[in-house]
Amino acid sequence: MKISETDVEYVAKLANLEVHKDEKKELAQQLSRIVEHVEQLSTLDVSAVAPTYQVVSNTKIAIREDRVQLRTGSSEAGKTVKLFKVPKVITER
């Protein structure tokens, strides 16, 4: 098997996921099968090929003028409230 249950545990930790004990075996098997399939890419020589992150590049937003604007298009949120109340995230130990 390509991906072990230990790998699943490790990757789950990186992804901030908790995986049930009984799910681990099944996930390891399924991910192994998928990884075996994607390994076919290793047969291609791409040493001289550039990666494609984005396909269409005629965008202009990236250099928008640095000017204060209302944050959201159709949202009233920014107009009606000044603060958002959120639940406490830091607890005492």
Partner 1 sequence: MNLKNITADRLVSLYANRDLSVTEVITSVFDEIDRSDGNIRAFITLCRERALEEARRTDSRIAAEEPLSALTGVPVAIKDNMNLRDIPTTCGSKMLANYVPPYTATAVERLRSAGAIIIGKTNMDEFAMGSSTENSSFFATRNPHDLERVPGGSSGGSAASVAAGMSVVALGSDTGGSIRQPASFCGVVGMKPTYGRVSRYGLVAYASSLDQIGPFTKSVRECAQVLETMCGFDHYDSTSADTPVDSFVKILDQPMKDIRIGIPREYFIEGMDPEVKANVQSAIRRYETMGCKIEEISLPHTEHAVATYYLIATAEASSNLARYDGVRYGLRETGTGGLAEMYRKTRMTGFGKEVKRRILLGTYALSAGYYDAYYLKALKVRTLILQDFQKAFEKVNIILTPTTPTPAFKIGEKTADPLSMYLSDIFTITCNLSGLPGISVPCGKTSANLPVGMQLIANHFQESLLLQVAHNFEKAGGFGNVSQ
Task: Kindly list the residues in this chain that would bind partner 1 in the complex (CB under 8 A).
Answer: 3, 7-8, 11-12, 14-20, 23, 27, 30-31, 33-35, 37-38, 40-42, 44, 46, 49-56, 58-62, 64, 72-77, 86-87, 89-91, 93
* Secondary structure class of 91 (helix, strand, coil): coil
Report CA Rg, the chain. Answer: 23
- ∠ CA 9-12-14, nearest 5°, is 115
In the complex with partner 1, the residue whose CB is nearer, 1 or 34, is 34
In the complex with partner 1, the residue whose CB is nearer, 46 or 83, is 46
